[in-house]
Amino acid sequence: MSDPNRVLAPARSLRATPFTPSGSATTSEPPGEPLLKAADLACRRGGEWLFKALCFEVGRGQALWLRGPNGSGKTSLLRIVAGLLQPDAGHVIAATHGDPQALRRQQVYIGHANALKDDLTAFEALGFLARLHGRESSPAAVMSALRRLAMDHRCHAMVRTLSQGQRRRVALARLALERVAGLWLLDEPFDALDAAGVQAVEGLLEEHLARGGGVLLTSHVPPTLPVRPVRQLVLDTERRA
């Protein structure tokens, strides 16, 4: 990480530290090219710097937990990495090996909004998302994905009739369709989920990391991945002079 002392303008203080949930096993970092490198990223909102000189990597088989209070720039950072927002400085390098379509195939972004159409059934909405992003969308695959999030029994229910937690489950069922060891960008994936829903999503995260994928996520709830340590990047609200 770049030396934060070289930042002259007021900005958020930044630190990256390892986080290992109780009972987790510490493993060595996997070799190879990182899935993502962020160099000297900066972002401001309304003339106020959210962060500056931010550098980090997400390697294969690694999860990075982005922490910080409301308004610290977590969602903005995820959107920058996803290519949905331009940084005010710095750049993001993805491991695409020169293939312009590789990023689309390898990256999954699920934000606060579930991106589900109210006038479709849960089954139709997930199938639409799968086709939109070029993923397996056969009836069997879609039903299997819903089953992973315990939403198969509600597959024919209209999205507008689902609870917030159920909508979140349908949106996150998209992860069960992923087979590529790419980068997942998840903004508060556990929001509105009950304990069983959180456990189901954590199972998908474990499988993704085991096949060499990477995860960058925000969460107010500490992620619990028993097999792997979780690194953390903290955006603080303390100002630097």
One digit per residue, the tens of pLDDT, for the chain of length 241 reads 333 333 222 333 344 444 333 333 333 344 457 899 999 999 999 889 999 999 999 999 999 999 999 889 999 999 999 999 999 999 998 876 556 566 567 899 999 999 999 999 999 999 999 999 999 999 999 999 999 999 999 999 999 999 999 999 999 999 999 999 999 999 999 999 999 999 999 999 999 999 999 999 999 888 988 778 899 999 875 543 3
What pTM was computed for the model?
0.84
Question: Can you give the pLDDT at residue 137?
Answer: 96
Residue extents of the structural domains in the chain: 4-239
> Collapsing DSSP states into helix, strand and coil, what is residue 89?
strand
* Contact present, 222 and 205 (Cβ < 8 Å): no
Q: Distance (Å, rounded) from C-alpha 57 to C-alpha 37?
A: 5
Question: Can you give the pLDDT at residue 104?
Answer: 61
Give the residues across from 65 on adjacent strands: 217, 232
Name residues whose C-beta falls within 8 Å of residue 2's C-beta, 6 or more positions apart in sequence. Answer: 40, 53, 54, 55
CB atoms within 10 A of CB 25: 9
CATH fold of 4-239, please? Rossmann fold (3.40.50)
**Residue labelled with tokens 């089954």:** 123
